[in-house]
Amino acid sequence: MSTYRVAQVAAPGGQFAIVEREMPQPGPGHVRIAVDACGICHSDAFFVNAGLPGVRFPLVPGHEIAGRIEELGEGTQDKGWHVGDRVAVGWFGGSCGHCTPCRQGDFVVCENLKVPGWAYDGGYAEAVIAPADALARIPDALAGPDAAPLGCAGVTTYNGLRRSSARPGDLVAVLGIGGLGHLGVKYAAAMGFETVAIARGAGKADFAKQLGAHHYIDSTADTTVADALQSLGGAKVVLATAANSDATTATVDGLSPRGELVVIGADTEPLGISPNQLLMSGKIVRGHPSGTAQDVQDTLAFSALHGIRPMTEVVPLDQADQAYQKMLSGAARFRMVLTTR
């Protein structure tokens, strides 16, 4: 095919329109991916609204990409990639390789991180050019629409838990059971943690148990979240997926001594935590970014092994604008995914 379709916005805050473009060729160290599916992440709004520096328009967002390699750039076959390989690209869309974090092997905090939809055109499209160091292999057991959201929502929750201080049998709480949190609960249970789900309203208790939670805490109940966690023995880790600083702050006193708050839900408001809450019991507050391509591949493999799939609503690329608006409204349950076939 000599052309391909993309869903793009022409100006900040604009609507998505389907546009045909000339098919690009991958340069050295890059591959062209035929996109099967792309998740719509809430952080796409930062790009659409020009909320981050260096965003260029027209913009094609999308950093939860699943597809097949259809053309190799020079040098990529030497790295083990072949036409037809099923691959995913997530928030980690490649690194510079020369900044201090990269030289230390900490590629996910690269100072020049190449996020798809920011550094280059993303996955709201029928094809994507991506650097080979961004590629993760998709297991045969995972369909494209299931694999796509795991490149961001999946790896962020999975990696946040596995790199925490919690060990099997420890009490681990997941704050929020939305697009990130529903996966966080599933991963926590599969990792052998005594899993607590925290959300608003008593009506979500049954759903939390269906996801695998052993306990449910209603954050609107008379008992505070911190007291409820302490009544269970105190949480070794709280994975804060909710984009709400007040709700995140409310969990700190529910941590056990040397407990850890792992923040992955983005909010511009500051956390209301005092030094005294941390000092006497040695508590830790840590922000956690998503994960490298290898971390994405580990997430995909773990998900396939344990039968973990995101809850998705799949729509064709033509409906990108409607799907994006549904994500923004909070009505998605829980990940909107665009497909090209």
- Tens of pLDDT, residue by residue over 233-253, are 999 999 999 999 999 999 999
Angle at 6 between CA 136 and CA 329, to 5 degrees: 85
Q: What's the confidence (pLDDT) of residue 1?
A: 58
Low-confidence ranges of the chain (pLDDT < 70): 1
Q: What is the DSSP secondary structure assignment for residue 191, as one 8-state letter?
A: T
Q: What is the pLDDT of residues 90-106, one digit of tens each?
A: 999 999 999 999 999 99
Q: What's the confidence (pLDDT) of residue 46?
A: 94
Among 94, 23, 93, 9, smallest CA distance to 51 is for: 9
Name the amino acid, one letter, at 111. Answer: E
Q: Write down the number of H helices and E strands in the chain.
A: 11, 15
b (16+ CB within 10 A) / e for 259-294: bbbbbbbeeeeeeebeeebeeeeebebeebbbbbbe
Give the three-class secondary structure for 318: helix
C-alpha span between 147 and 144 (Å, rounded): 5
Q: Which helix or strand (DSSP H or E) is residue 201 part of? A: none
Antiparallel, parallel or unpaired: β 255-263 and 284-287: parallel
Q: What's the confidence (pLDDT) of residue 16?
A: 98
DSSP secondary structure letters along 127-185:
EEEEEGGG-EEPPTTS-HHHHGGGGTHHHHHHHHHHTSS--TTSEEEEE--STTHHHHH
Q: What's the confidence (pLDDT) of residue 341?
A: 81
Confirm if 158 and 223 have CB atoms less than 8 A apart.
no
**C-beta atoms surrounding 205 within 10 Å:** 16
Among 83, 77, 97, smallest CA distance to 292 is for: 97
Name the amino acid, one letter, at 329. Answer: S
C-alpha span between 299 and 325 (Å, rounded): 28
Q: How far is CA 46 from the centre of its chain?
A: 14
Q: What's the confidence (pLDDT) of residue 236?
A: 98
